[in-house]
Amino acid sequence: MTGTGSLRWFKSTYSDGGGGNCVEVAHDMDSIHIRDSKNPAGPVLTVSGEAWAAFLALPDASATP
């Protein structure tokens, strides 16, 4: 795993930039890293790419036909 200090972090394009609730996401060769945009020096949640893909698929899986 890469140290999180050298990662390139991204915010959602839906973020208003006004200090609202937002997370930042970064990736390396093995993992996805998620942190609170208001506390970039705080804890970082690290998950596998497969776990991140499953998380992103949840809204589609819960949609009613």
The encoded tokens of residue 58 equal: 């949840």
Q: With a cut of 50, which residues of the chain have pLDDT below it?
A: 1-2
Q: Which residues contact 34 (CB under 8 A, 6 or more apart)?
A: 23, 24, 25, 44, 45, 46, 47
Task: Please report the pLDDT score of residue 64 as a whole number.
Answer: 62
Domain hosting 33: range is 4-61
The number of distinct structural domains making up the chain is 1
Task: Please report the pLDDT score of residue 13 as a whole number.
Answer: 76
* CB atoms near residue 64 (< 10 Å): 3
Task: Please report the pLDDT score of residue 49 as a whole number.
Answer: 95
Helix (H/G/I), strand (E/B), else coil: 43: coil
